Each structure stands twice: as structure tokens, then as C-alpha cells.
Amino acid sequence: MSYSIKRTDKFNDQLIDIILYINESFSKKEAVEYLNYIELQINLLKDYLKIGIVPRYQAIAKQGYRALICKQNIIFYKVSDEKQEIILEIIVSAKRNYLNLI
């Protein structure tokens, strides 16, 4: 049985910012392609909950987060077995210091 996906407002806002940046800096085509790629990766989580890695920072890992690497971005998420859902918390650039963002 696959889990449902829940997106936080913070995740949605950050994803929109990323897509708008790609659209403005490169092209609409690349923005749509990247959005489709992100959505594909998110949908894989429904059936493969542990596809993401345990974050390297212990402070984040101890909170139960997993990290899904999507090219130059990282999606931090939690799995709720009780509710059978995956909660997408944030999406950030892999180049950014994300320790204080969660």
C-alpha cells in the first residue's frame, strides 16, 4: 500500500521560488522540465518511503528527517507510519547551509 503525500506551506513556497527562478534565469521549458522531475521524485516516495538518505547532520537525523536529493536541491521529509503519509517539509539548494532551516 502506498502512502499519501502531504506538502507543508513552506515546502510549496520554496518549490514555487525555485521554479520561478529557473523560469526567469533560464527558460519556461527548463522550469517545467524541472518541476516534472521533482514531481516524479516525490511520487516515487509513495512506494519507496526510504529512498531518501539519512541526513548527515545528526540534529536533523534525530528529528526523523530523511533527505531526497533532486539534482541541485534536497527535499527533507518525514514518514508517518501511523497516518501512512509522507510529509514534505522543505526543499533547499544543496549548496546552502540548511541546518538552521528545519
Q: What is the mean pLDDT of residues 2-23?
A: 97
Q: How far is CA 24 from the centre of its chain?
A: 21
CA 7 to chain centre: 9
100 pLDDT band (50/70/90 cuts)? low
> Angle formed by the axes of helices 28-47 and 9-25, to 10°?
150
> What residues does 69 pair with on adjacent strands?
74
* Fold (CATH) for 4-93: YaeB-like fold (3.30.2310)
Q: What is the 3-state secondary structure (H, E, C) of the chain?
A: CCCEEEECHHHHHHHHHHHHHHHHHCCHHHHHHHHHHHHHHHHHHHHCCCCCECCCCHHHHCCCCEEEEECCEEEEEEEECCCCEEEEEEEEECCCCCCCCC
Residue 101 has pLDDT above 80, yes or no: no
**pLDDT tens profile 36-85:** 999 999 999 999 998 999 998 899 999 999 999 999 999 999 999 999 99
- Looking at the predicted structure, is the pLDDT value of residue 2 above 90? no
Q: How many CA atoms lie within 13 A of 3 on its CB side?
A: 23
